[in-house]
Amino acid sequence: AAFYALVPAAGSGARMGGEKPKQYLPLAGRPLIWHGLRALCGVARISRVFVVLSPHDADWVAHDWSTFGTKLMPLFCGGATRADSVLNGLRATADQVRAEDWMLVHDAARPCLTSAQVDSLIDTVCRDSPGDGGILALPVADTLKRADEHAAIATIAATVPRSGLWQAQTPQMFRHGDLLRALASGKDAQAIEAITDEASAMEMLGFRPCLVKSDPGNLKVTYPSDQRLAEWILQQRGE
C-alpha cells in the first residue's frame, strides 16, 4: 500500500482572535502551515500531500509553495467542520488513492511535527496495527479535574485518574477506504460534530487504533501563546 498525507486547513482559527486564518499566521518567517507541510513532504515514503482549503480561501495563492513541487496538491473543498473537511478531501482523492492505501491526516495547526515522528508513526502502525491504524499521542502529564457543570463558578466535581489517559495528536493514520466509510457513517448518524479527530470516527465503527508515543513538541497552536512557543521550538531546531 502507498502512503499519502491529508492536511485539513479550512478552519477560521476563531480562538486565535485575529483576522487571518491561523494556518497563514507568520511563524519563523513562513505561514504556520508551511512547517507541517515540510515535515510531511520530507518523508520519502509519502507520495503526495493533499491540503484541504476553504473554497473561499484567498491566502493560499499569495504564498510561494514551489519548494514542495508537485508532491503538494491543494484541494479547495473544505467543509463546515474539521471532519467535513477531511471527508470532502477523502472523496476528492478517491480517484487517485486506493482503498487500502494509507492516509495520514495532520492538522495544519501543528507546525512542529518532524519527519522522524512521521516515520515512527508509519513504522509502528505498519508493524503493530496494520488492520486498525494508529495515531501519535502523549500520555497525560497533568492532574485532570471534571468541573461541576451546574455550579455558578468553576468548581471541582471530581478528579479524573490520569493513568491510562492519552492526549490525541496528529498525524492519525488509517486506510483511505476505512476512514472514508467511518466519516461518512458519522455524518449519516449526524455525529459529525462529535468527531473531533479521525480516530473517534474509526472507534465508532469498532476499530481499535494504536497509540504511538509522541512528544510535547508536536503541540497544536490554538491560542496566541502557543504561537510563540511553536516559534521558539522551530528556532531551537535552527528553522
CB of 6 to ligand C5P, least distance (A): 10
CB of 219 to ligand C5P, least distance (A): 11
Q: Which is nearer to ligand C5P, 52 or 112 (CB)?
A: 52
Q: How far is the CB of 83 from ligand C5P (least distance, A)?
A: 8
Of the candidates 183, 200, 176, 188, the one whose C-alpha atom is nearest the C-alpha of residue 84 is 183
CB-CB neighbours of 99 under 10 Å: 13
Alpha helix stretches (DSSP H) within 16-114 = 32-41, 82-93
Q: How far is the CB of 38 from ligand C5P (least distance, A)?
A: 15
Distance CA 75, CA 9 (A): 10
Q: Which is nearer to ligand C5P, 23 or 172 (CB)?
A: 23
Instruction: State the residues that interact with ligand C5P by CB under 6 A.
Output: 8-11, 23, 52, 78-82, 85, 107-109, 220, 222
DSSP-derived secondary structure letter, 200: H
The set of residues, in sequence order, having a beta carbon less than 8 Å from that of 146 and lying 6+ positions away, is: 156, 157, 158, 159, 160
- How far is Cα 237 from Cα 115, in angstroms, rounded to an integer? 13
Nearest distance in Å: CB 213, ligand C5P? 22
- Rank residues 222 and 236 by Cβ distance to ligand C5P and give the closer one: 222
Sheet (strand 134-139) strand order: 72-75, 46-53, 3-9, 102-105, 166-175, 134-139, 210-213
